Each structure stands twice: as C-alpha cells, then as structure tokens.
C-alpha cells in the first residue's frame, strides 16, 4: 500500500521525471510513492475523480474543466509559465524582424497552423490570439499528438506549429525552423502546468508539504543546473539524450514552484475563454482553483518566474 | 507487409523515417523484431530491464492507439511508433 499516488504526464520539463528518477520523495520522507503515467490531462482528472491518485502534474485548463464539473481537486503549486511557443520554417519572418504579432500571424493567411488537440492550452492560445489580432483566413489544424507536428511541417501539411518548448527542439532536429513568436508574446505568464491535489489529501498536510519541498528543489535544479537536471530526466526516459532535455529547458526558462499573483491572474484569464468555448459552465474564482497556503510555507521568497 | 513509421527520437535512433517489413502478429512481436534489427540503443529506448515495452512508448495502428502489446496487426497496416517527447498532448 502506497502513502502517496502521483499522476504525471509525458512532458519532460515537469519536475516529475526528476523526483521519480532520483527517488527524491522516498529518500527525503520515507514515503512509499506510486507513480502513474497518464496520456492526457483529462485522463488524469478522471483518475482523480476515481480516487486513483492523490496528487498530479497537470495543465490548468483541464484542471479547471474538472473543477467546474465538481471534481474535488485544487491547485497547490506552480511549476512553469510560458510553455507555449510558435515556430515555422526559416523562410517565415519572426516577431523580432516584423516587430508586430499581427504581421507575424498574417504571414499564415490562407495557410495552416498545427497544434495539439482541441482544448489544449496551445490550441486555446493560438485561436484566441488569431481572433484578438483580427487575422483571418488561417486554418488551425489539431493533432492528437504533438509528435506528428515536426513531420507535418517537414512534408508541408502545415506551415507553422504551436506547442511546447520540446516541440521546437524536436522539430529543429528534423527541419530548419525557428521561433516566430516567443512564449511571453503569445500569452504572458500562461500557466504551463501546476501541482493539483485531491481535496482529501488536505488531511495529511505533511505529505503535501514534503511533496512541494521536493518539487521546489527540482525547480531550483532546473534553473541553476539544467545540465544535471537533464541527466536525471534522460535516466528516466531511455532513448532521450540529455542535450535534448537541456535544450528544452532553455527555450522558456521560467521554472518555479510558487503560485505568483501573475500565475494566478493569467490562469483565471482562461476562465471566460473556456466558458465561451463551452468547456466550463460557470465563472470560477481564485478560491475554487487555488489553495496557496501550502506553497507559501515552502516558497515564502519572491517567485522565480 | 506492413509499414512502420518512426517519429522524433526513435527516428533519430533508427536513422530512417519509415520502413516496410513483414507483418508480425502483434505489437510485442513487432517490437522484438525491431529490437533485433536496430540493436541495443533502440532496445534500451523501448524495452525495460525485464524486456517489457516501456509505459511511455506509443504505438498507433492506422491512427488508433494500440491498447496493449497483444494488439493484433493486420497485413497492410501502418504502425506509427514514438516516444512522446515533443510535448505529447499539451498536458
């Protein structure tokens, strides 16, 4: 019987791979930990509702969708912000060259932008940006797996892609691409992922605090020694070289366990969009999504985002 | 015959994007065959110490995810194989 059941996603810049690879939680606290890999955020929220996991690494949009449906979960820690990038082959101009987001997007009028599945944070961000900038005639094409995007760019099926920092690292190993819009210009402070618990775990405060302590330590390692962090991750995912992980870390190096006011505000800015898209029914408030008291104990200093 | 496509890191390891090969009965047998063909680095990427397919390795058969290693393969199928390192599904 385990003391803590942790759900995680195959997203290599989450601290899950570091904690798991180094056995950090077990060593620091003596807790018996079970790690369960889920293919998607919605699959993980289902596991939360079925009491299969106690704590998880998850994107905030799927967590908020689950909260709206009555799933008793709450976000107790941050992890990373600005985890969405836009890339394209090098014959397209970048924001730095054109100086205006609208001009960058207009290059794709009559063309296709590929992104992960509908409702993912990347999909929501690019659709919202196109609408906000009034850019017409761009087709957003969804792919169930981000791994198909480099190939789709390579064979001309799409003209640009929006996804995680890992995407540009993977794509640039196959084709000549570059960042056309950096993460902070797509949606400043957007919450790449957070730490979510099942409300019942609040009865064992020490477990939450111990987890957050190790999560914070791993965030610090990524910021201060990305090479060492990358080696731990590549020990956990065989076939993945540490250079790939390190390159991913450097695309948007905003790793921190804190729940900063900007993190919270940016997360809540998704609420009206999720409602407009029909993913949620009510307007969620801060207290329904976040419980900041635990991370304030572990991370009292200013955020590092 | 079947078609096997490799994405991202697995494509780098095997050095080719797509191959045609003789049909194997299921995903487990296909993986064994590919391990023999591509050697230790490929084996380490897809199998654990006990020879079981690693949890995070993904197989799609004609666009649909293979549920388990015993999932059957038919003649003419296209199998896509990858490690979800490009972001998976955007959490």
* Domain extents in chain B: 2-82
Predicted TM-score (pTM) of this structure: 0.89
* Residue B29 backbone class (left: φ over 0; alpha: ψ -120 to 50; beta: rest): alpha
- Flag whether pLDDT at A204 surpasses 60: yes
Q: Are A4-81+189-298 and A85-186 in the same CATH fold?
A: yes
ipTM over 0.95: no
User: Mind telling me how many Å the CA of B74 is from chain A's nearest CA?
Assistant: 23
List of chain A residues whose C-beta atoms are within 8 Å of the C-beta of residue B82: 145, 147
For residue range A36-47, what is the model confidence (pLDDT) as tens digits? 988 778 889 999
Cβ contact B45–A239 (<8 Å) = yes
Residue B88: the pLDDT is 55
Q: Could you tell me the two tokens for A206?
A: 């020490």
Class of domain A85-186 (CATH, top level): alpha beta
Question: How many CA atoms, within 13 angstroms, populate the side-chain half-sphere of residue B12?
Answer: 17
Residues A58/A71, Cβ–Cβ less than 8 Å: no
For residue range A165-202, what is the model confidence (pLDDT) as tens digits? 999 999 999 999 999 999 999 999 999 999 999 999 99
What is the average per-residue pLDDT within B19-48?
96
Residue B90: the pLDDT is 41
Question: Please, what is the angle between helix A242-251 and helix A226-236, to 10°?
Answer: 130
User: Mind telling me how many Å the CA of B63 is from chain A's nearest CA?
Assistant: 10
Cβ contact B85–A148 (<8 Å) = no
Residues A47/A53, Cβ–Cβ less than 8 Å: yes
Residue B87: the pLDDT is 66
Query: Looking at the domain A4-81+189-298, which fold is it?
Result: D-Maltodextrin-Binding Protein; domain 2 (3.40.190)
Distance, CA of B35 to CA of B24 (rounded, Å): 13
For residue range A246-265, what is the model confidence (pLDDT) as tens digits? 999 999 999 999 999 999 99
- Flag whether pLDDT at A66 surpasses 80: yes
- Flag whether pLDDT at A217 surpasses 80: yes
List of chain A residues whose C-beta atoms are within 8 Å of the C-beta of residue B7: 147-148, 150-151
Distance, CA of A74 to CA of A122 (rounded, Å): 22
Class of domain B2-82 (CATH, top level): alpha beta
Cβ contact A146–B44 (<8 Å) = no
Distance, CA of A26 to CA of A30 (rounded, Å): 5
List of chain B residues whose C-beta atoms are within 8 Å of the C-beta of residue A115: 90
User: Mind telling me how many Å the CA of A163 is from chain B's nearest CA?
Assistant: 7
Distance, CA of A207 to CA of A214 (rounded, Å): 11
Whether the CB of B58 is below 8 Å from some CB of chain A: the reply is yes
Q: Which residue has the tokens 């005639």?
A: A137
Of the candidates B13, B17, B56, the beta carbon closest to that of A237 is on B56
Number of residues in chain A:
305
- What's the distance, Cα to Cα, between the start and end of chain B in Å? 35
User: Mind telling me how many Å the CA of A152 is from chain B's nearest CA?
Assistant: 11
Q: Exposed, middle or buried by CB within 10 Å (0-12, 13-18, 19+), for A167?
A: buried
Residue B91: the pLDDT is 41
The ranges assigned to domains in chain A are 4-81+189-298, 85-186
Cβ contact B86–A163 (<8 Å) = yes
Cβ contact A147–B86 (<8 Å) = yes
Cβ contact B91–A193 (<8 Å) = yes
Q: Please work out, in degrees rounded to the nearest 5, the angle formed at the alpha carbon of residue A252 by the alpha carbons of A301 and A168.
A: 160
Handedness of CA A135, B86, B82, B54 (dihedral sign): negative
Query: What burial letters (b/e) apply to A86-116, b meaning 16+ CB within 10 Å?
Result: bbbbeebebbeebeebeebbbbbeeebbbbb
Q: What is the DSSP string of chain B?
A: -EEEEE-HHHHHHHS-SEEEE---SBHHHHHHHHHHHH-HHHHHHHB-TTSPBPTT-EEEETTEE--STT-B--TT-EEEEE---S-TTT-
For residue range A69-121, what is the model confidence (pLDDT) as tens digits? 999 999 999 999 999 999 999 999 999 999 999 999 999 999 999 998 877 88
Nearest residue of B to residue A164 by CA position? B87
């Amino acid at each position: 019987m385990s003391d803590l059941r942790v759900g995680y996603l195959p997203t290599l810049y989450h601290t899950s791979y570091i904690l798991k690879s180094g056995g950090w939680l077990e060593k620091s606290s003596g807790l018996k930990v079970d790690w369960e890999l889920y293919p998607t955020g919605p699959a993980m929220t289902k596991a939360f509702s079925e009491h299969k996991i106690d704590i998880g690494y998850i994107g905030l949009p799927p967590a908020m969708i689950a909260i709206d449906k009555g799933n008793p979960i709450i976000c107790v820690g941050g992890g990373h912000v600005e985890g969405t990038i836009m890339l394209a082959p090098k014959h397209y101009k970048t924001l730095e060259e054109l100086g205006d987001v609208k001009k960058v997007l207009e290059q794709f009028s009559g063309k296709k932008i590929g992104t992960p599945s509908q409702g993912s944070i990347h999909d929501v961000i690019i659709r919202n940006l196109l609408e906000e900038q009034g850019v017409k005639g761009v087709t957003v094409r969804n792919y169930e797996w981000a791994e198909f995007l480099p190939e789709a760019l390579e064979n001309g099926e799409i003209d640009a892609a929006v996804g995680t920092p890992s995407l540009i690292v993977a794509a640039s190993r196959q084709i000549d691409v570059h960042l056309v819009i950096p993460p902070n210009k797509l949606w400043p402070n957007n919450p790449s992922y957070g730490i979510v618990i099942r409300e019942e775990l609040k009865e064992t405060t020490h477990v939450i605090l111990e987890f957050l302590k190790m999560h914070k330590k791993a965030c610090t390692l990524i910021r201060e020694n990305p090479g060492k962090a990358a080696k731990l991750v590549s020990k956990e995912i065989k076939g993945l070289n540490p250079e790939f992980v390190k390159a991913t870390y450097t695309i948007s190096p905003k790793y921190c366990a804190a729940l900063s006011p900007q993190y919270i505000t940016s997360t809540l800015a998704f609420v009206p969009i999720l409602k407009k898209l029909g993913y949620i029914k009510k307007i969620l408030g801060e207290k329904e999504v976040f419980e900041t008291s635990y991370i304030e104990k572990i991370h009292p200093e200013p955020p590092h985002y | 015959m079947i078609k096997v496509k490799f994405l991202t890191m697995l494509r780098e390891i095997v050095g080719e994007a797509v191959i045609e090969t003789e049909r194997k009965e299921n995903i487990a047998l296909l993986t064994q065959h590919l391990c023999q063909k591509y050697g230790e680095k490929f084996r380490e990427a897809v199998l654990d110490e006990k020879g079981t397919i690693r949890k995070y390795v993904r197989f799609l058969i004609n666009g649909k995810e293979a549920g388990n290693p015993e999932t059957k393969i038919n003649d003419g199928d296209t199998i896509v194989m990858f490690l979800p390192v490009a972001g998976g599904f955007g959490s």
